[in-house]
Structure 1
């Protein structure tokens, strides 16, 4: 008997126990369940509800259609670890020391809201990617580190097996975890009679992708909307379609979870929250403070308490999620460090759409380190402030390369070729600009950097940037026209700079208040390091 079969048999038994305890479940109806679904690297425009024509996301679209769709949700960071840190602590990543930095350690003092739900008699669990990549305690010597993932206890044992007839995966880059079956196992065998909080963390559409998997999935290159910061050609369109295949995989398992909850009579007592941790893994998107890096899909469905069919334009932050969920579940904040986010329950319960709460004028995000991409693992520090109409980015170290150094060192300490191009003009992604995930799109842009038609896209992706950038995102969603210094926008620029500085001071950002403004570059990275020459 394989693992899948044995788990399914135990699940049936668990289902009988659930039925036996049905009266207790009914008694708990006043306390809502929460299904939190988060994809890995998906920009805000890439759902059917948002109008994308080259992918289908029926589950997200249902949540958005029957619930509240937020058109201006801003992630904590354009990278996964700091963004997820913001979600579970309600604090900006710069407030969480190493526990807000990519591939560093998670300290015990940064208590996630999930712990408080667990203490408040919620059944909590997750499947797939949690709050990572972080280093959690390896043994008793790591006494200051948290022992388990801040996203909850994992249930990911039910997996697809290669060459098995039940392996339905649609592309080679899709991971082995059967998210839906693990969720069903949790409901039948772990949840018991309690209300639940479940974290569904897909590993998709994080790279790597199976190149040209879109062909097998019946995708049409002509349907692709190519962002303005990419050249429009077959390579880019194919890469975007491979990305779409993996978004649809995330959505498929969410659809199965919704259907299952409906079948067992639990959907209407379950708050469904769907989002992504940061933007698409392409040049000038992920690991960048632009719209396609920090602006993510976000929808919430709970028709019995949240009037549905609404599109809300208020800017909301990932820092708002923890206080909102704690308020929804009647859970006190005791044990957590002070949160910077504010509950959006008033917006969810409102019958209004458009701008609901005018006090939420600005939200904030930032980044420090992403991949190992510069000398001594230096990051590219940024802070962002976003309103409904404008985005201001502070590039704190404009002398550094935003996408990573243009040259790395080999294992002997010798310089590798500029831009990662070998003598034949072939691009090697690990040799340069390593804050950009390896991809056909990246390679095409770098290999053709000297072509006058491609050079602007190369510069947009990797060239050094000014200290401040201001964008009118309603008219320039691709963030290509920097308005800083433009007298027509001088008042807006001044106000946003002032509001950003005020928030960074209020939240004790070391980049502003010290005492060590470079502390973020000192945190140990527990993932592999690359070597780079001593340049910015």
Structure 2
């Protein structure tokens, strides 16, 4: 009897191991401040990103992927929790005196995957807190500006006998220190160094060749800074290629899901820290060997709040859908779009603690509504963006326009901004005061309120002092 029981248990154990071995590995590669403006596969003919372009050819390129907050720490908390930052206490930066932190009762993606038997590892930029909420089995160390070195440090994880989840986060192409240049008109380095980085080929760009997005001024300073930004991205691409080479050497290309995203848009005024399209509409490339279609473009609107449930689905890890604000888009990855994926919500409150400017967003079909809750305040600048020569060239010369917007309109915003994205992709024509769009405005306001109520957004109180989410204020 004992022998039979042991035999039965042994068989069960073998079956479990076999099942685990069949689960896919997952690499979530997160760049820092990389917009869709600077990738070959997203239509930029100047920048050299051959490895990421190859990923798009072998996978799926999303053209309507959004972060929820164009701020590093706030965005990363959403990526790893599946919840909006306004509901988890992740209102802004975690470092220095900013010190925002996720609530203790949140269970993150990494913790869930560890519990499910995955080896979880992270390397590079972390920028979330507390660590026990965002816990990984292994923390790997390398220069986060040298993605080739980072990739080399991941070899042991890639060769793990257990299925692995690798959270690979670069510092590129974030602006580099010092943020305040001397002289003021010098371009930021974006982490580039004259001597370069070990095992990384320097790919440089001429300012006259770069593409200047319409929301930026086309001047000497912008072009010089964009050239530096491009160089930093080409460094990312080389490290990504090296990581894929290690995956190939381990024989795991066909058993590993690879996801490339950025936390928010390019680190220029008008993108990062805003909820305009250049700030929140981002690259998202997914290669899943189990999907049938390759090299396609997917127009479904997906959000970083959807990533945690999506990755859990990919890994066959069960969860309660009510645990998340987002939902899995795993079933539509290899489609070319879906009418059921046409809405986006965004929620930004802080970047630095001195930058209080809560904004909420709903996009439904062609229309996008921005609610500038603190519209009576001057729009606050991130310290690195204020010091940027791109901005200082406009500010010091008292120029009227910054890109296609007037400076005064950038600095002082109305309570509501309503745009038709299909007709006005640059968000230049605010329809909020146009009587012809009164019904659309009211409908989107109602959707926004419902979203805030559903996700327990404390800023719901700013609608006519709606205190329906307030507690009693009494300790019981």
Which TM-score band (shorter chain)? 0.7 to 0.9
**Residue among 436, 447, 450 paired with 1:499:** 447
| Cα shift at 1:373 | 3.0
Q: Match for residue 320 of structure 1?
A: 306
Q: Match for residue 155 of structure 1?
A: 140
Matched, 1:205 2:194: no
**Residue among 399, 421, 428 paired with 1:480:** 428
Moved more, 358-367 or 269-278: 358-367
Where 1:315 maps in the other structure, the secondary structure is strand
> Mapping of 1:183-198 within 5 angstroms?
183-188=154-159, 191=160, 193-198=161-166
Contact 2:106–2:133 (Cα < 8 Å) also in 1? no
Q: Match for residue 127 of structure 1?
A: 123
Question: CA separation in 2, counterparts of 1:152 and 1:382?
Answer: 35
**Residue among 365, 368, 377 paired with 2:346:** 365
Q: Match for residue 260 of structure 1?
A: 246
Where 2:375 maps in the other structure, the secondary structure is coil
**Residue among 366, 375, 386 paired with 1:389:** 366
Please give the per-residue CA displacement for 1:451-482, whole angstroms capped at 9, x wherever unaligned. 34669756168411001112222343332221
Please give the per-residue CA displacement for 1:391-414, whole angstroms capped at 9, x wherever unaligned. 21110110012224xxxxxxxxxx
Please give the per-residue CA displacement for 1:296-333, whole angstroms capped at 9, x wherever unaligned. 10011013325222211111111111111111112122
**Residue among 207, 222, 230 paired with 1:221:** 207
Question: CA separation in 1, counterparts of 2:431 and 2:313?
Answer: 39
Question: CA separation in 2, counterparts of 1:447 and 1:461?
Answer: 17
Question: CA separation in 2, counterparts of 1:518 and 1:79?
Answer: 27
| Cα shift at 1:120 | 1.0
Please give the per-residue CA displacement for 1:271-307, whole angstroms capped at 9, x wherever unaligned. 0111000111111110001001111100110133252
Where 1:37 maps in the other structure, the secondary structure is strand
> Mapping of 1:241-320 within 5 angstroms?
241-320=227-306
Contact 1:69–1:299 (Cα < 8 Å) also in 2? yes
Please give the per-residue CA displacement for 1:351-396, whole angstroms capped at 9, x wherever unaligned. x31x32x12221111111112435xxxx100001124533211101
Where 1:394 maps in the other structure, the secondary structure is strand
Shift in alpha-carbon separation, 1:147–1:337, aligned structure 2, 3 A: farther
Contact 2:111–2:134 (Cα < 8 Å) also in 1? no
Question: CA separation in 2, counterparts of 1:225 and 1:119?
Answer: 46
Shift in alpha-carbon separation, 1:275–1:343, aligned structure 2, 3 A: same
Q: Match for residue 14 of structure 1?
A: none
Please give the per-residue CA displacement for 1:20-77, whole angstroms capped at 9, x wherever unaligned. xxxx998755200001101001112321111112312222222222111111001021
Matched, 1:83 2:68: no
| Cα shift at 1:201 | 0.4
| Cα shift at 1:254 | 1.0
Contact 1:315–1:388 (Cα < 8 Å) also in 2? no
| Cα shift at 1:220 | 2.8
- Answer 1 or 2: which has greater strand percent: 2
TM-score (norm 2): 0.82
Q: Match for residue 141 of structure 1?
A: none
Give 5+ residue unaligned stretches, structure 1.
1-23, 137-145, 161-173, 405-432, 520-536
TM-score (norm 1): 0.73
> CA-atom RMSD, angstroms?
2.9
Please give the per-residue CA displacement for 1:233-268, whole angstroms capped at 9, x wherever unaligned. 121111011111111112211111112212221011
Where 1:383 maps in the other structure, the secondary structure is strand
Question: CA separation in 2, counterparts of 1:302 and 1:218?
Answer: 32
